Amino acid sequence: MSNQSVQTVSTSNDKMKIVLAVIAAIAGVVGFYYLNTQPALVRACALVAGLAISAGILWTSTTGREFLNFAKEAVRETKKVVWPTRKEATQITAIVFAFVLVMAIFLWGTDKLLEFLLYDVILGIRK
């Protein structure tokens, strides 16, 4: 990721584009549910059209282009990650499950001990 600190000033034109993009996305979702008596293909087309129009409007704004650049950099950084092998992932998962099991048994035992001390020894409620 770049370490450049750049502060941009949004214009009212960019703000209007963002508002229109949000309205278009909402219109696509509303259209999907409003057309509930239509075939699924028509409903899906209404949703996709609303989202595509929204994405198109966002792409023309400065904020949208900045987000696109951010997404590209995020993908580039993700490719640099060294992912664990299948064997390592399985071992780590087994360790986590074992720890959770030990903690569950410990908490259950603590709960039962406190229950015994409180109800049987101190209060004498149980018979």
pLDDT of residue 88: 96
Do both 106 and 50 map to the same domain?
Answer: no
Sign of the torsion formed by the C-alpha atoms of 51, 23, 66 and 70: negative
Do both 30 and 63 map to the same domain?
Answer: yes
Q: Determine the structural domain holding residue 19 and report its residue range.
A: 12-79
Do both 105 and 62 map to the same domain?
Answer: no
Q: What 3-state DSSP class applies to 84?
A: coil
pLDDT of residue 9: 55
pLDDT of residue 53: 93
pTM listed for this prediction? 0.51
pLDDT of residue 102: 98
pLDDT of residue 2: 56
Across the chain, which has 127 residues, the per-10-residue mean pLDDT values are 58 85 92 91 93 90 86 93 94 98 98 93 77
Do both 57 and 30 map to the same domain?
Answer: yes
